[in-house]
Structure 1
Amino acid sequence: MSIAKGRITQERKRWRKDHPPGFFARPETKEDGSTNMFRWKCHIPGRKDTIWEGGYYPISIDFPEEYPQRPPKCKFSEGFYHPNVYPSGTVCLSILNEDEGWVPSITVKQILMGIQDLLTDPNPNSPAQTDAYLDYTKNRDKYELRVKKQVEKFPPKF
């Protein structure tokens, strides 16, 4: 077993025993019924008492073969509206950047909770999409209205 696969398997066991309420994360099931440990399907709940509350946001985690030495890529759906999410859906977050805050000890739980924090508290110093960045920094009412519309697109699945 590769180092990456061993670590991801360990992460899966750890997640099953201890994950935050409302979060979902599991390896993808391939068409043939086998498990792809390197690609996880996840959902992040919007934090209570924020404009994101009520949404249940799907996100994927793609682990590289060099994991945990290199960070995974986390992606929302294309066009996800947030100042720190690229138009492709890729999340821009320091703990997911090997040149900034990534350290191999960071767990899936820490990643997903970090992304939940980012939803609520965008980083205006690291913009990834123009519209959301400009709305967040120059027209907060418009930003909040667009977030609330997005919340409606992602209702809880349960």
Structure 2
Amino acid sequence: MLDYTAIVDSLQKAFAAKCIEAPEIVNNPGLSLAFKIDPVYAVGLAPAFIRNMAEWARVAPSQAHEAMLRTGNLVSRKDGSGNRESELDLMLTWPSGSRRMNGRIHVAFFLTDFLDRALALYAKAAALPLAELRIAATERERVEQFLQGKSLPQGLAYQATS
């Protein structure tokens, strides 16, 4: 039987160490694997964020994914067949110089507490600020459907696209 708490702890230690080494892995569109979009949620590139954390922590990616799901740090929902789904394609928007860039990106939702706790415990760092990356306002209904029954991202997680 897997010790999910120990795996999550290893993932957090590895994430914090990587943030110290390469702070651009969070909140920098075009460079990062994860973005804090509101006080409750972060989005991570899927499946790259978990796969990279697993590699940094020397944990099998499937075990990292399962531990994140079982501990509630990776947000999921049951699909029509009763299977857990934790990834979706979303239109995201972010600043690039004097204009905004838009792109459809495959992401997963994570609790920001996972990231912030990792940084506080293992990097002695402050909580992450919000990223400049936003979910396109046209995706709000899809996000709310995906997160049905859970806390919903605040309005600041969304931005109209042109």
Q: TM-score range by the shorter chain?
A: under 0.3
> How high is the TM-score relative to the length of structure 2?
0.27
Higher relative contact order (CA 8 A, sep 6+): 2
Give the TM-score normalised by the residue count of structure 1: 0.27
Structure 1 or 2: larger helix share?
A: 2
